[in-house]
Amino acid sequence: MLQANLKTPLGTVVISGDENGISSISVFDEEREISGVIPEALQEAYQQIQDYFNGERIDFTFKINPSGTEFQKKVWQGLLEIPFGKTMSYQELSIQLGDVKAIRAVASANGKNPLWIVVPCHRVIGTDGSLTGYAGGLWRKKWLLDHENPVKQQSLF
């Protein structure tokens, strides 16, 4: 498994994968050595994630290859359909996937998403609009949603 580390405003991103696609993207608080030479199989993902944080990209086109159950993959595919700058509740996602009663299972699969940012689990919010649990920390979820907000508010202060 190949790896590359990228410094971002939210911490060090670790990209893992091989010629079959990217299998994992994680973020860490602690400093990690930033990659000098990026393995060829990870270069496209590395560049696209860098472009995302620079405000130059709203979607990802590199090949992904996450490991998970069929149900988890179905949920992650549903997450991929949430447009940049939009949010959806767990309940709405459950309905979209065909079973409103599966809300807890959907939330669990959402929490096991191995492809941080790329499979946009940060775009899922509570039915009441609240920023519900997020494995990367609610401060990161808020940052990502603000970053993707098409109506950027300038502070008056």
Active site residues: 121
Helix axes 103-111, 70-80, angle to 10 degrees: 80
Nearest to 39 by CA among 47, 28, 31: 47
Rounded Cα–Cα distance for residues 73 and 150 (Å): 28
Torsions phi, psi for 2 (to 5 deg): -90, 150
Query: Which neighbouring-strand residues pair with 21?
Result: 18
